[in-house]
Amino acid sequence: MQLTLGVTMSYVRRTLGSKETVLFLTGYHWLFWLGASILVAPFVAVAIGGLPYGAADYFLLVLTVLPFVYGLYLMIHGWALEVAVTSDRFVKKTGLISITTEEVSLDKIEEVNVGTSIIGRIFGYGMIDVHGTGAGAIHVRMINNPISLRQQIQGAREQLKSKGE
């Protein structure tokens, strides 16, 4: 199963090795996007619907500026996140202009921990921690379908082991 984000040329795809393929690509769950949109929407509604501005409209704009800025920050953070499993590695990329990656080779992964709350189980989101040999853990929160992501990592590791034998 492969989930794409609609990104024409993702960072992971641009940095693939010659024989490496993307097996699974995902990002934040839709509830993350809904939350960010709810924070942005009041400011946009007042900014557009308040024309011409009266005193009450300016007051509402001031009240909605902080949630708007935080919601915009969350959206940018969401657009900048890529989580992928390739045939050789697990990758977490953050950042749009200044890019930071956390990668671990599949053969160096010691354990993959998945956590979901009750609401997360119902809606299909959770967190995943990937621990590698000689490296720290890679943490991803509010990820879409973390159980499938873990299954993809395990399947890719098994394929890698069978290739090496």
Q: Output the CA–CA distances (angstroms, integers) from residue 103 to 50, 134, 151, in the order listed.
A: 47, 12, 18
- Which has the minimum average pLDDT: 46-50, 81-85, 89-93, 157-161? 46-50
Of the two residues 49 and 142, the one the predictor is more confident about is 142
Q: Rg for the chain (alpha carbons), in Å?
A: 20
Domains of the chain with bracketed CATH = 1-5+22-165 (2.30.29.30)
Q: What is the mean pLDDT of the chain?
A: 89
User: pLDDT grade, residue 50 (50/70/90)?
Assistant: low
Q: How long, in residues, is the chain?
A: 165
Q: Read off the pLDDT of residues 62-84 as tens digits, 9 standing for 90 and up.
A: 888 999 999 999 999 999 999 99
